[in-house]
Amino acid sequence: MTPTQARNLSKHACSPSRQSARLRNLRLRPPKPALGRGRLQGQIRRAFLLGEELSSSQIYDWCYVRHRGPLTTLQRYSVWRLLAVMCEPVGRAPTIGRPWLWRLKGSKSGSKSGD
């Protein structure tokens, strides 16, 4: 590095106090600003406006409304992963395929249906 390049570099470098003044508002930012605001999270909450207990199939239909054809394993897993965090499994449905029944955590009803 030539002396001229070193001089130019030192002119443009910020001192620590000036740099911290520019970045000061980052301390006010919440640690996880997008937590709970995903597309699938919103769709799952919206699906539970219909009823208190829903099957996995009903929730898949709500999350992928415009999707034609069968869902991929990755799409089902994405919904199931969120259901495991946001909801509690209640039991199994008596219909063909016996999908899981889910209830949002914090729902008022505490009765569990038997298997």
Helix (H, G, I), strand (E, B) or coil at 92: strand
Torsion sign, CA atoms 92, 98, 104, 107: negative
DSSP 3-state assignment of 44? Answer: helix
**Average confidence score pLDDT of the chain:** 83
Q: What is the DSSP letter of 99?
A: P
pLDDT at 52 > cutoff 50: yes
pTM value is: 0.67
List the domains of the chain with CATH numbers.
3-104 (1.10.10.10)
Report the pLDDT value the prediction gives residue 34, as an integer from 0 to 100.
84
Per-residue pLDDT, averaged over 40-49, amounts to 95
Q: Confidence band (pLDDT; 50, 70, 90) for 115?
A: very low
